[in-house]
């Protein structure tokens, strides 16, 4: 079956829906999503979305941009960061006008609170004076992502967007550097549809499921990144993967930084507020990469608490904040602690551990969301990407909290605008039914396989080894081992067989296809990490503990090759107004 | 410990009728989510078992199902909160057509959601450089209704839904509340007209099943009662 649309958006989280809302009515627009839009992972974001509104205290977009550059450990492209932080103020006001419910300050404006790595100079006349935490995160209790996702879904309904919910994208159609559409499988029937389109935007989210402990939903299998990678296009900076410091112990469920923004503190086994040693000025509100390293270091040096299953954790204590504040501002996350760990946060500290959270890397784009086909910056005509699956790069080596929701709405809109402009003089490229052949071959191979390898066994081995060998701390030996493991898993994945031979809602088939995507994501991540002989942001090499600005102020571009090794190329970082400095907090 | 389940199975490609299948899952512990138990079955015992799931912590609303007779999210329910001395019964959400096993067809649920115009309507231009102002008190009046994750646990738990397929149901009407009570919205009357019908708010018979079913602990019946009061007291 062939369906034809001017625009096809793959993914119905914040970025995809924001882009869809931006497409003018005269163009036909379809949104394909492997889950119903309100199930998208954007909904789990909690603590807020940053913009220098200055509703609580003086602030400026320049402060926000400086923090984002420094937070990125100077790997973020400063031109794109400027675009995002300048536009943030308009973007948040726009969300409010769209109907997003926000918590409010005394004047009835959008309320803001502190968040990790967001600061302003103590002396407003001296940008290089000591920087102190600033209230910049706009929030709706601790359900900011949920209400943002719902607001954007509501506005898509208002704009009469056509949804193909529970459709799984299986192929990206590109010929001679021009995008022709995508192929997707209707999960309810296993039928393949060729979506012919003048333009395609990927907003497929992250890949946290390649790690054992993750805050990511089960949908986070890096599908869009894998499709792009398999189409011969590069993935950028995949080695930079953020571990959020405070995941619920064992489960990895996110406990928002808002808990620390509101005054929560981290404690080790002796009750010491250990962040004072690692970040004397901002303490518990240091950026995520630093706090995650601090927690693992505390645990390694024997100051963690040993849990019933033999794994270790530290404490996040909010009990001193009082029940009233907790119930008003942190209801959801304290509910998780009660439900899943049986802990009462108003009385006792919450056991937490770092959890795989966010891919800074992804599909390389420019600031108009056009996908790059190489490190020279040439673009693929008609192909766009936005949100976590994309790498603009505004997050560099480490994303600041709240900048992900901001990224979705700023670049989702920019992608939509760029597409609207492109459509003024774009044509359909010819496609026929045979465009689905490649997908059909892959699906048939899984359906007919008698190989005996099990999806869950391979997936668990991938997740365990990635966590151990390519997690918060990495070294050459471990990464070498991970490369070998990955090669073995890749080989065995060809013999995966499934029990469900039906066509109706075959989620086992879906699991097999997602496993392939996860392996592709892991490959680009591990090889990028192996090659990068330095420590920067979330990529920490124990054997190369220093940042190396002479050799590594550059983005990794990983191209999939038919051999088991991707080809790595590099693109220089864009530096405008902020020269790299030592990163202290 | 071991746990026993009775799961309703239905594969339209093979079965003429749904039937219960028994499973015994070994080596579980009481801090497992029911979703973890289903995953254990799917990935180690029977790959054909079919259900929806995603975030696994009660935010995305995918895994609503009927567990021991009550609509719940499988990811928000731990074994220790269930009686594991006897088999746990797991069925799809009632009153919606079954696609396969625990997966139901949600289209009528979303169609009803769209009926109440689930988006802010305000034709007065907003301030050029700032947000529309709203007191925190007014904002917080919306928060409970805005917590809804559209899991359909409430609507499919309601006897009025079972007996009348045209009934809008609690989830759609809760969404209407979220906008009618938003000080920024100007289409309250339009929405109240939609609710003020025999298949709208008046088919809510205050049975309270929706409250018991809601995994986000929203007092849905209270919200619908407020709507009833507001609608019956408005000037026509």
SS3 string of A194-259? EEEEEEEEECCCCCHHHCCCECCCCCCCCHHHHHHHHCCCCEECCCCEEEEEEEECCCCCECCCHH
Which residue, A121, A50, A59, A43, is CA-closest to A87? A50
Residues 183 through 202 of chain B touching chain A, CB cutoff 8 Å: 184-185
pLDDT tens-digit readout, A365-405: 999 999 999 999 999 999 999 999 999 999 999 999 999 99
**Residue A143 β-bridge partners:** none
| Domain-embedded: residue A524 | yes
| Domain-embedded: residue A207 | no
Nearest CB to A141 within list B134, B135, B143: B143
Across the range B217-224, mean pLDDT stands at 97
Query: How many residues would you count in chain A?
Result: 585
CATH code of residue A329: 3.90.700.10
Contacts of A378 (CB under 8 A, 6+ apart): A177, A372
Q: Which chain A residues contact residue B14 at CB under 8 A?
A: 502
Pairwise CA distance, residues B64 & B75, whole Å: 9
Across the range A51-75, mean pLDDT stands at 97
Cβ–Cβ under 8 Å, residues A146 and A135: no
Contacts of A223 (CB under 8 A, 6+ apart): A34, A168, A169, A204, A514, A517
Eight-state DSSP code of residue A99: T
Across the range B19-24, mean pLDDT stands at 98
Contacts of B210 (CB under 8 A, 6+ apart): B154, B155, B157, B158, B170, B220, B221
Nearest CA in chain B to A102: B139
Distance from CA of A53 to the nearest CA of B (A): 9
Q: φ, ψ for residue A313 (rounded to 5)?
A: -145, 170
Distance from CA of A398 to the nearest CA of B (A): 23
Q: Which chain B residues contact residue A502 at CB under 8 A?
A: 11, 13-14, 48, 100
pLDDT tens-digit readout, B109-133: 999 999 999 999 999 999 998 999 9
| Domain-embedded: residue A584 | no
Residue A127 scores a pLDDT above 90: no
pLDDT of residue B236: 64
Per the prediction, chain A carries an average pLDDT of 96
pLDDT of residue A562: 76
| Domain-embedded: residue A262 | yes
Q: Does the distance separating the beta carbons of B60 and A39 come in below 8 Å?
A: yes
pLDDT of residue A124: 85
Residue A564 scores a pLDDT above 80: no
What is the extent of the structural domain holding A265? 245-357
Cis link prior to A157 (omega < 30° from 0)?
Answer: no
Domain boundaries, chain B: 3-104, 107-232
| Band of pLDDT at residue A126, cut at 50, 70 and 90 | confident
Residues 1 through 30 of chain B touching chain A, CB cutoff 8 Å: 11-14
Residues 38 through 77 of chain B touching chain A, CB cutoff 8 Å: 42-44, 46-48, 50-62, 76
| Domain-embedded: residue A455 | yes
Q: Does the distance separating the beta carbons of B136 and A105 come in below 8 Å?
A: yes
Pairwise CA distance, residues B35 & B74, whole Å: 5
Cβ–Cβ under 8 Å, residues A97 and A88: no
Nearest CB to B55 within list A36, A44, A103: A44
Q: Look up residue A545 and give its two tokens.
A: 């503990």
Q: Known catalytic residue: A288?
A: yes
pLDDT tens-digit readout, B95-105: 999 999 999 99
Which residue, A397, A520, A522, A517, is CA-closest to A468? A522
Nearest CB to A97 within list B50, B60, B132: B132
Across the range A292-300, mean pLDDT stands at 97
Q: Does the distance separating the beta carbons of B131 and A339 come in below 8 Å?
A: no
Cβ–Cβ under 8 Å, residues B89 and B146: no
**Residue A362 β-bridge partners:** A236
The position carrying tokens 């090759």 is A561
**Residue A267 β-bridge partners:** A315
Pairwise CA distance, residues A529 & A267, whole Å: 31
pLDDT of residue A129: 85
pLDDT of residue A424: 97
**Residue A336 β-bridge partners:** none
CA angle at residue A288 from A283 to A294, to 5 degrees? 60
| Domain-embedded: residue A145 | no
Cβ–Cβ under 8 Å, residues A237 and A393: yes
Nearest CA in chain A to B64: A39
Q: The domain at B3-104 falls in which architecture?
A: Roll (3.10)
Residue A563 scores a pLDDT above 90: no
| Band of pLDDT at residue A528, cut at 50, 70 and 90 | very high
| Domain-embedded: residue A232 | no
First to last CA, chain B: 63
Q: Look up residue A94 and give its two tokens.
A: 């726009």
Distance from CA of A134 to the nearest CA of B (A): 20
Q: Which chain A residues contact residue B140 at CB under 8 A?
A: 103
Which residue, A518, A514, A418, is CA-closest to A466? A518
| Domain-embedded: residue A236 | no
Nearest CA in chain B to A39: B60
Q: Does the distance separating the beta carbons of A502 and B13 come in below 8 Å?
A: yes
Q: Does the distance separating the beta carbons of B149 and A146 come in below 8 Å?
A: yes
* Secondary element (H or E) of residue A391: strand A390-391
Across the range A495-518, mean pLDDT stands at 98
Across the range A193-205, mean pLDDT stands at 98
pLDDT tens-digit readout, B151-193: 999 999 999 999 999 999 999 999 999 999 999 999 999 999 9
Q: How far is CA A257 from CA A50, A118, A284, A304, in A?
A: 13, 12, 9, 20
Write the Ramachandran bin of B68: left for phi over 0, alpha for psi from -120 to 50, otherwise beta. left
Pairwise CA distance, residues A64 & A88, whole Å: 9
Nearest CA in chain B to A42: B60
Cβ–Cβ under 8 Å, residues A54 and A552: no
> Which member of A18, A209, A288, A293 is catalytic?
A288
What total number of domains does chain A contain? 2
DSSP string covering B59-77, please? SS-TTEEEETTEEEEGGG-
CATH code of residue A518: 1.20.58.100
| Band of pLDDT at residue A96, cut at 50, 70 and 90 | very high
Residue A86 scores a pLDDT above 90: yes
**How do the residues of chain A divide into helix, strand and coil, expressed in percent and rounded to 5?**
35, 25, 40
Q: Is residue B149 exposed (0-12), middle (13-18) or buried (19+ Cβ within 10 Å)?
A: buried
Q: Supply the ipTM of this predicted assembly.
A: 0.98
Nearest CA in chain B to A100: B120
Q: How far is CA B172 from CA A385, A422, B103, in A?
A: 33, 38, 20
Of chain A, the percentage scoring pLDDT greater than 70 comes to: 100
Which residue, A227, A179, A569, A178, is CA-closest to A375? A569
Query: Superfamily for B107-232?
Result: Alpha-helical ferredoxin (1.10.1060.10)
| Band of pLDDT at residue A16, cut at 50, 70 and 90 | very high
């Amino acid at each position: 079956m062939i369906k034809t649309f001017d625009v096809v958006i793959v993914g119905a989280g914040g970025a995809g829906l924001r882009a869809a809302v931006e497409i003018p009515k005269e163009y036909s627009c379809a949104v394909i999503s492997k889950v119903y839009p309100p199930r998208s992972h954007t909904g789990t974001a909690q603590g807020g979305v940053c913009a220098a509104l200055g509703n609580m205290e003086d602030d400026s977009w320049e402060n926000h941009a400086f923090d984002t550059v420094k937070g990125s450990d100077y790997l973020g492209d400063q031109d794109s960061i400027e675009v995002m932080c300048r536009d943030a103020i308009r973007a948040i006001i726009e969300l409010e006008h769209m109907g997003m419910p926000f918590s409010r300050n005394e004047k009835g404006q959008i309320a803001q609170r502190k968040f990790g790595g967001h600061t302003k100079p103590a002396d407003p006349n001296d940008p290089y004076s000591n920087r102190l935490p600033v209230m910049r995160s706009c929030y709706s209790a601790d359900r900011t992502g949920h209400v943002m996702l719902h607001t954007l879904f509501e506005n898509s309904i208002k704009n009469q967007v056509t949804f193909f919910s529970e459709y799984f994208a299986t192929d990206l159609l590109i010929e001679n550097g021009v995008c022709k559409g995508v192929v997707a499988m209707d999960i309810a029937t296993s039928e393949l549809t060729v979506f012919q389109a003048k333009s395609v935007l990927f907003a497929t989210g992250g890949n946290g499921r390649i790690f054992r402990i993750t805050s990511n939903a089960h949908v986070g299998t890096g599908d869009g990144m894998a499709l792009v990678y398999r189409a011969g296009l590069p993935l950028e900076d995949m080695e930079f993967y953020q571990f959020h410091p405070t995941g619920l112990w064992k489960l990895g469920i996110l406990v928002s930084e808002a808990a620390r923004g509101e005054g929560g503190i981290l404690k080790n086994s002796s009750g010491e507020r250990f962040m004072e040693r690692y970040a004397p000025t901002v303490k518990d509100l240091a950026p995520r990469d630093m706090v995650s390293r601090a927690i693992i270091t505390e645990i390694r040096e024997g100051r963690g608490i040993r849990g019933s299953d033999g794994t270790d954790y530290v404490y996040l204590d909010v009990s001193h904040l009082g029940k009233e504040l907790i119930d008003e501002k942190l209801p959801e996350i304290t509910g998780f602690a009660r439900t899943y760990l049986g802990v009462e946060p108003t009385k006792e500290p919450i056991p937490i551990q770092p959890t795989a959270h966010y891919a800074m890397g992804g599909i390389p784009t420019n600031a108009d969301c056009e996908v790059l086909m190489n490190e020279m910056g040439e673009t693929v005509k008609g192909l766009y990407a936005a949100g976590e699956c994309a790498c603009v790069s505004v997050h560099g080596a480490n994303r600041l909290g709240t900048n992900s929701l901001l990224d979705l709405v700023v670049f989702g809109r920019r992608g939509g605008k760029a597409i609207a402009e492109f459509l003024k003089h774009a044509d359909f490229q010819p496609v026929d039914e045979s465009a689905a052949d490649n997908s059909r071959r892959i699906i048939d191979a899984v359906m007919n396989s008698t190989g005996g390898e099990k999806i869950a066994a391979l997936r668990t081995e991938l997740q365990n080894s990635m966590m151990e060998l390519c997690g918060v701390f990495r070294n050459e030996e471990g990464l070498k081992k991970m490369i070998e493991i990955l090669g073995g898993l890749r080989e065995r994945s060809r013999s995966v067989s499934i029990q469900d031979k039906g066509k109706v809602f075959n989620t086992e088939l879906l699991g097999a296809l997602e496993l392939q995507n996860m392996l592709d994501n892991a490959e680009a991540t591990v090889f990028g990490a192996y090659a990068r002989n330095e420590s920067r942001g979330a990529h920490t090499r124990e054997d190369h503990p220093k940042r190396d600005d002479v050799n590594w102020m550059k983005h990794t571009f990983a191209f999939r090759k038919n051999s088991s090794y991707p080809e790595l190329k590099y693109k220089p970082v864009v530096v405008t107004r902020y020269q790299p400095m030592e990163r202290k907090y | 410990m071991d746990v026993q389940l009775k799961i309703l199975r239905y594969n339209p490609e093979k079965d003429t009728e749904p039937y219960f299948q028994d499973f015994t899952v070994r080596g579980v512990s009481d801090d497992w989510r029911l979703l973890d138990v289903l995953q254990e079955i799917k990935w180690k015992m029977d790959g054909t078992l079919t259900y929806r799931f995603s975030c696994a912590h009660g935010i995305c609303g995918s895994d609503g199902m009927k567990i021991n007779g009550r609509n719940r999210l499988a990811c928000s329910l731990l074994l220790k909160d269930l009686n594991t001395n006897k088999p746990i019964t797991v069925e799809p959400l009632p009153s919606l057509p079954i696609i396969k096993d625990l997966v139901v067809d949600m289209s009528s649920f979303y169609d009803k959601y769209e009926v109440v115009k689930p988006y802010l309507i305000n034709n007065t231009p907003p301030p050029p450089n700032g947000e529309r102002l709203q007191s925190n008190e007014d904002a917080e009046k919306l928060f409970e209704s805005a917590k809804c994750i559209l899991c359909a646990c409430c609507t499919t738990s309601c006897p009025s839904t079972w007996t009348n397929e045209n009934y809008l149901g609690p989830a759609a009407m809760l969404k209407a509340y979220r906008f009618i009570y938003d000080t920024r919205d100007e289409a309250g009357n339009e929405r109240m007209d939609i609710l003020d019908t025999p298949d709208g708010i008046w088919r809510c018979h205050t049975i309270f099943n929706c409250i018991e079913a809601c995994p986000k602990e929203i007092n849905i019946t209270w919200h619908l009662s407020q709507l009833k009061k507001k609608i019956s007291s408005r000037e026509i």
